Amino acid sequence: MIMKSALIALFFMLLLCLNYAEFVETLSIQVADQDLRLIEGAKVEVNYQLSHIQGRITTTPKYTDENGGVNFTITNTEYSETNTEKDFQVIASYGGQSASASYTIDLHPSVIVMQVPAYYLTVFVRDQNGKPLAALVDIEGDKKGTDTAGRAVFRVGKGTHEVETDYNGIKKKVLIDVDADASREFIYPLYELTVKVVDEQGRGLVASVAMNDAYQTTDAKGILKFSRVPQDQPKITVNYMGLKKEYTPYLPNENSIRAAFDITPPIVSDLSANYHNGYVRLRAKIVDEGQYASGFSEETPFIVDYNVEGNKRQAEMYPVGNNFYETEMQTLKKSAEIPYKISVSDMDGNRNSLSGMYNLTISTGGGNGGGVIPNAGTEGDLTPIIVVVVVVVVGALIARWYLRRDE
C-alpha cells in the first residue's frame, strides 16, 4: 500500500514537471546602420513575458559597446504551457531613430542584428589658413574633442541636429540636416593684437587689459600682445588706476590699440584782470599738455566762482584764442576785493583750480581802478603811478640843474 502511494506521487510530480513551461534564454544583439556599419552607444531593450500573472516586462536599457553589441538574459517563470508566451520583442534606438523586431524563443538568429538609420557626421575645426584647431564639439550633449587633424566624428540619426563648437571660450552653433553621411567645417579666424597703454606724454603704463573679460597685465613698457585671437571683433577693456576704456577693434583691418590715459590735471597760468564799467574781465591760459592729452569738452565748461560783498556768484569762461579763456565778473561800485576761484577739468576727469583776489579801487568820480592777482603780476589802470614817477624824475632833474648852475 505504501509503495503504491509513492508511485502515484511520483507520477504526479513527473506530470507536473512536464507541464512546467519556465525558460531562460540568452540573446546576443547587434545594432547597425542602414549600411550594416556597427553602431556604438545605441540603446537596446527587450520586451517579454515574465509570467501570466506578472505579465510582460521591458528590460532596463543597455547600450551597445564599440562592436555594436549587447547581451540580454531573459527568464520566463510561467508554469503553465498554455499560458506561456514565447515571443519577445527587441527595440533598438539611436540618434532619435528606432527599430523593433519580434522573435520567439524557439526561432531566432544566434545574433540578432537591428538596423537603425544612422549616419556619420564629421566636424572639422580650423583657422582661416586651414590649420587644425583643438576644440570641443557638442552635438546635443554628445561631446568630443577634435583630434590632431581638427576633426571629431559622430554617429547621428536622420534629422536636424544642433552642432556647437567651442574654441578658447568662443562658441559657434549651427543646425545641420542629416539624411546621409555628412561633414561640416567651422572656421575660427585667428589674429594678432598688440595693446599699448600710455599716459598723455606717451610713457608706458602698467595696466590691466581684458579680452572678453579675461584679464592680463601689460609689461613695464605698457605693452601686451595677444596671439591667435579667435574673433574678428573682440571686446577689449583697459583699466588703469580705476579709469576704464573700452575698444572693439576690427582685427582684419587693425591689429594694434593705443590706450592713452591722461593722468595730469590741466595747467592754469598767465592770469590777468582789468576793470571796465562795472565788470572785471578775468583772463587765464588753460592748457591740457601732452601728445595724448584728453583735452576739453564743451559739455564741461570752465567755471569761475567769485564773491562780491558776500554775494556768491558764478560765471563761465569762454575761449578767446591761443589757449586763453576769459570771463567777466560783475562788481558793485563799493567793492574793494573780489575773491575768485577758477575750476577746470579735462575729458579724463583730471581737475585743477586756482584761487586769487582782485583788489579794486574806484575813484569817487568813477573811471578805472587797479588790481593785484597773486602769482600773476599786476594789471589795471597804471596812469596815477606813471604820473607820480614822471613828476619825481622831472623834479630830480630840475634840482640837479639848479645845483650845477650854482656851482
Q: What confidence tier does 386 reach under pLDDT thresholds 50, 70, 90?
A: very low
Examine the pLDDT at 131 and tell me if it is beyond 90: yes
Q: Do domains 2-115 and 267-384 have the same CATH topology?
A: yes
CA 135, 137, 143, 147 torsion-angle sign: negative
pLDDT digits (tens, 9 = 90+) for 242-278: 999 999 999 999 999 999 999 999 999 999 988 888 8
Q: Which single residue is written with the C-alpha cell 540618434? A: 95
Residue 79 confidence (pLDDT): 83
Cα(358)–Cα(135) distance, integer angstroms:
72
Q: Which of 202, 198, 203 minimizes the C-alpha distance to 240? A: 198
Contact 317, 327 (CB under 8 A): yes
Cα(161)–Cα(163) distance, integer angstroms:
6
User: What is the architecture of the domain spanning 267-384?
Assistant: Sandwich (2.60)
pLDDT digits (tens, 9 = 90+) for 352-380: 999 988 887 643 334 344 444 444 333 33
Angle (CA) 201-207-212 rounded to 5° is 125
Over range 181-210, report the average pLDDT. Answer: 95
User: Of 126-135, 186-195, 266-275, 366-375, which range is least confident?
Assistant: 366-375
- Averaged pLDDT of the chain: 85
Examine the pLDDT at 191 and tell me if it is beyond 90: yes
Judge residue 60's burial from the number of C-beta atoms within 10 Å of its C-beta, 0-12 exposed, 13-18 middle, 19 or more buried: exposed
Query: H or E element: which one contains 6?
Result: helix 2-19
Residue 175 confidence (pLDDT): 96
Task: Assign domain 2-115 to a CATH class.
Answer: mainly beta
Task: Assign domain 118-187 to a CATH class.
Answer: mainly beta
Q: Where are the domains of the chain?
A: 2-115, 118-187, 191-261, 267-384
Name the CATH topology of 191-261: Immunoglobulin-like (2.60.40)
Quick one: how far is CA 273 from the chain centroid?
53
Cα(303)–Cα(312) distance, integer angstroms:
13
Contact 116, 92 (CB under 8 A): yes
Answering whether pTM is above 0.85, one says no
Q: Which of 87, 101, 92 minimizes the C-alpha distance to 31? A: 92
